[in-house]
Amino acid sequence: MTLLAPIILGDWGNSHLRLYLYRDGEILADAHGPGVGALNGRDPGDILLALIAGWRAGHEIGSVTLCGAIGSNLGWREVPYLDCPSRPGEFPKGVLRFEAGGLSIAIAPGLACINPCGAPDVLRGEETQIAGAMRIDSGLAIGQHLLCLPGTHTKWVHLSEGRIENFLTGMTGELFALLDAHSMILRGGALSPDSGADAFDVGLARAGAPCASLVHTLFEARSRRLREGMSIPTARSLVSGLLIGSDSAGALASYPELREIPVRVIGAQVISDLYARSLRAQGVEPVCHDGAQSVLAGLSALHDALPWGIN
């Protein structure tokens, strides 16, 4: 039996690049690189070719399928958005194809909609993750669902009978990073999921307080340090709870008709667990899906739907 040549699948978002050498459902190797937001003028093609040089030396590889911010106006090549409502089966028609370094490159389109607040909204990469989640769990193609895809820009997506109707973006991850790096209320260091666990729950509760909005409660991370001796790691957990709690509450208020059913959270375990805690605190039951598995399933399905010749 002759094995198919491996392919390269990549999720190239604003924060990270994750590449996979993939064949017939198996990850042969993976690699990581800078996200689109950290390119700093470097050519994306040069970065990609450098990361996969060793793979090409050992395998005959002809195609690379990518999704994410790499298809934005800040990325490699800008790929036009598809308008919602949209189904995963329609995504291949929006793919941009080109050649680079002897490889055939395909970049997935993003999606655009008018969100529940009446404003234009866009996403890139999450459409592929959603398609993969639907491939893994066929139940997502039936009925109504509210999806939460946490990240730098968290997406809340209304899925109806397998069709993406619209979505809402929360800048939760980016706001946390900006506050952590530049605000007087927080200073440096990596967030440990075990540090300040109680403070995270306090933040969730304070996010729902009727007395003030997020712009008021955020300063508590500073005032509690000064007046109550709160440590910086604990203050960071408080801010995380305030942001995630506010994000979740706003999304649930924007989709009141979907609040009585479990919210599907699709993402990395640590951040998905935090969103799950936030949803439970607001009386909504979450169901978590692995984000990496979902995006791989979506990229694989997208690759299989395109004409590649021998691949």
pLDDT one-digit tens code per residue, 141-192: 999 999 999 999 999 999 999 999 999 999 999 999 999 989 989 864 444 4
17 domain residue, yes or no: yes
For residues 95 and 305, what is the distance between their CA atoms, to the nearest angstrom? Answer: 11
Query: Do 129 and 199 lie in a common domain?
Result: no
Q: What is the CATH number of the domain that holds 251?
A: 3.30.420.310
For residues 28 and 22, what is the distance between their CA atoms, to the nearest angstrom? Answer: 6
What is the per-residue pLDDT for 211? Answer: 77
Domain around 90: 7-142+292-304
232 domain residue, yes or no: yes
Query: Do 131 and 195 lie in a common domain?
Result: no
With a pLDDT cut of 70, the percent of the chain lying above it is 95
E strands present in 94-202? 96-100, 103-107, 111-114, 120-123, 144-149, 154-160, 163-170
Report CA-CA distances (Å) from 134 to 2, 114, 170, 270, 293.
Answer: 30, 23, 23, 22, 11
| 253 contact partners, CB below 8 Å, separation of at least 6 | none
Query: Do 249 and 219 lie in a common domain?
Result: yes
Average pLDDT, the chain: 92
- 258 and 234 in contact (C-beta within 8 Å)? no
Domain count across the chain? 2
81 domain residue, yes or no: yes
Query: Do 209 and 88 lie in a common domain?
Result: no
What is the per-residue pLDDT for 167? Answer: 98
SS3 state of residue 160: strand
Quick: pLDDT tens for 58-97.
999 989 999 999 999 999 999 999 999 999 999 999 999 9
2 domain residue, yes or no: no
Q: What is the CATH number of the domain that holds 91?
A: 3.30.420.300
- 61 and 52 in contact (C-beta within 8 Å)? yes
Least confident residue range of 34-38, 211-215, 267-271: 211-215
What is the per-residue pLDDT for 197? Answer: 63
Say if residue 227's pLDDT is above 80.
yes
| 308 contact partners, CB below 8 Å, separation of at least 6 | 62, 63, 104
155 domain residue, yes or no: no
